[in-house]
Amino acid sequence: MLLQNILLTSTPGVGKTTLGKELASRSGLKRLKYFNMGDLAQEGQLYNGYDEEYDCPILDEDRVVDELENQMREGGTIVDYHGCDFFPECWFQVVFVLRTDNSVLYKRLETRGYGEKKLKDNIQCEIFQVLYEEAIAF
């Protein structure tokens, strides 16, 4: 029997990476495999440009899907990403949307060196539950 695939989604800075790594380590015998989409994209250079406004690379979503496809078929995968809109729905049996207090999130993003616009937009995303609504529609 295949293990279920899990998507952890949230605004950056909420705790996806911390939770994903902890779940994978507690699953024992490496039964669950953890993939951070930022790390995967960086390792494989899965980008198709650079966003000057937000000072970050633009993910090549098609290449990311191609890169993960075989792993997702095997099951037992935890995926960490700040959205779910480009993943095939059939990949995930469980989706968790993580949340945190806005003042805590603000401090975390500020510590990461986020610019004012990027910081403001991410806080608004959390306030308006954008990723929660996206996951519900998923």
Residue set of the binding site: 13, 15-18, 112
The DSSP symbol for 3 reads: P
Residues in Cβ contact with 62 at an 8 Å cutoff, skipping those fewer than 6 apart: none
Whole-angstrom distance, CA of residue 133 vs CA of residue 40: 25
Whole-angstrom distance, CA of residue 110 vs CA of residue 108: 5
Is the CB of residue 100 less than 8 Å from the CB of residue 56? Answer: no
Looking up tokens 């989604």 gives 9
Helix or strand (DSSP H, E) at 95: strand 94-97
At 73, give phi and psi (nearest 5°): -65, -35
Q: Which residues are annotated as a binding site for ATP?
A: 13, 15-18, 112
The amino acid occupying position 135 is A
